[in-house]
Amino acid sequence: MELTKVVGLPSEILQESKNIKSQLVNWRRDFHRYPELAFQEKRTSAKIAGILKSFGIDVKTGIAKTGVIGTLTGGKPGPTIALRADMDALPITEMGENDYRSLHQGVMHACGHDAHMAAVLGAAKILCQRKEQLKGKVKFIFQPAEEIATGGAQDMIKAGCLDGVDAIFGLHVWSHIPEGVVRIVDGPMMAAADKFRIEIIGKGSHASLPHQGIDPIVVASHLVINLQSIVSRELDPLESGVISVCKFHGGETFNIIPEKVTLEGSVRSFTEKGADFFHQEIVERTRLTCEMFGAKYHINYHKVVPPLINDKRMAGIFKSAAEKVVGIKKIENGPAMMSSEDFAYYLKEIPGAFCFIGAGKREGGDCYPHHHPHFDIDENALVTATAVMALTAFFYFLKPFKS
């Protein structure tokens, strides 16, 4: 059946999402009150498992330590898709005054994962009520540890969460996109994230006798400038990338030139080729800069997350569903973002797509960024997210695509 022949289903799914708004809000606020850090999501995963079981979904727990997978079998045979939500919170002390603020000191859902879990649970509820109409299976993947460098997506994949899955879809609420707007990009949507640590080893001396030493602070200062010029003078202007030196540590007192200086930073790019280019350039410029001053160095360069690249046809299904929920005028095709997401690992394995659900508050207060102690969302976004995820599953089964 072609997508254009679907009559009534989108409006029904949207209405069903609206009907359970209070439940979506309650789930989200409960997760918000009791946030848990990466691989510590024990209460969170237990609550999710209990809710999924109440729907009649087959549930497996303890996946990659605290992950949960629910499997819904439709009324007819067909492909298997996955809907993914992340579960972990951040080590941030919440500063909001709402009545659902975090009860765990120093831990907060400051990135919207509480909303992601509520939306996927909402989609699960709606799909369960219509399971006889489903032509395949749906896996609901609740992943731990998205927020840390050695995160949960890889561990979930190693544990077999994608076994038998043909396509995967995920979402992220976004506070700087107005509520009611959905952003989906065909192709690169979020950047690869790499990190580096460079230790520059000089020769310590008294501040009054710099000629007797090799000043690693001077070397490191030159290196910071040299690294910044990679993007402005070496990268193809048609490519995109960012190099940020975010930590510069050296010395303990005002009159001693130290022996060592440490630099740490982040690299962002939208292609594997770009990531490799930055890696090579950083190593080479560090070598040349240190050689110029007679210093030594050690580099630790770590590829954290690959670029998140949506499968074009999967993004098309996602977009078709979102258009039915918010209207074609509220679909944004870009821009891509330099932030990163470990959902990218799933997309390296199987076709799929990721989208942003606008969650910027319509009324009252400032719109705080993600990872801010005052971060919050417009909870109307929960209805949008639920409807988009549920409808995407139906649209995929009606016209499955494979790359």
Q: How far apart are CA 61 and CA 73, in angstroms?
A: 18
Asked if residue 197 and residue 167 are part of one domain, the reply reads: no
Domain enclosing residue 178, as ranges: 3-190+307-398
Average pLDDT (253-261) is: 97
pLDDT tier for residue 295 given thresholds of 50, 70 and 90: very high
pLDDT for 320:
96
pLDDT tier for residue 118 given thresholds of 50, 70 and 90: very high
Question: H helices within 58-141, ranges in order?
Answer: 113-129
Mean pLDDT of the chain: 94
Asked if residue 267 and residue 246 are part of one domain, the reply reads: yes
Specify if 312 maps to a domain. Answer: yes
Q: Does residue 42 have a pLDDT over 50?
A: yes
Residues assigned a catalytic role: 88, 146
The dihedral built from the CA positions of residue 244, 250, 253 and 254, taken in this order, carries a sign that is negative
Asked if residue 325 and residue 198 are part of one domain, the reply reads: no
Asked if residue 253 and residue 158 are part of one domain, the reply reads: no
Of 305, 325, 353, which marks where a domain is finished? 305
Asked if residue 173 and residue 52 are part of one domain, the reply reads: yes
CATH number for 140: 3.40.630.10
Query: Cis omega (within 30 of 0) on the bond before 144?
Result: no
Asked if residue 168 and residue 38 are part of one domain, the reply reads: yes
Instruction: Judge whether 393 and 349 are in contact, CB under 8 Å.
Output: no
Q: Does residue 3 have a pLDDT over 70?
A: no
Instruction: Judge whether 190 and 339 are in contact, CB under 8 Å.
Output: yes
Number of separate domains in the chain: 2
Q: How far apart are CA 242 and CA 39, in angstroms?
A: 30
Asked if residue 174 and residue 26 are part of one domain, the reply reads: yes
Specify if 241 maps to a domain. Answer: yes
Asked if residue 27 and residue 84 are part of one domain, the reply reads: yes
Specify if 403 maps to a domain. Answer: no
Of 305, 324, 342, which marks where a domain is finished? 305
Reduce the secondary structure of 185-246 to three states and give it as a string.
CCCEEECEEEEEEEEEECECEECCCHHHCECHHHHHHHHHHHHHHHHHHCCCCCCCEEEEEE
pLDDT for 403:
40
The pLDDT tens digits of the residues spanning 75-100 come to 999 999 999 999 999 999 999 889 99
Q: Does residue 347 have a pLDDT over 80?
A: yes
Asked if residue 199 and residue 153 are part of one domain, the reply reads: no
Q: How far apart are CA 275 and CA 344, in angstroms?
A: 14
Q: Does residue 248 have a pLDDT over 50?
A: yes
Asked if residue 112 and residue 18 are part of one domain, the reply reads: yes
Asked if residue 72 and residue 139 are part of one domain, the reply reads: yes
Instruction: Judge whether 182 and 388 are in contact, CB under 8 Å.
Output: yes
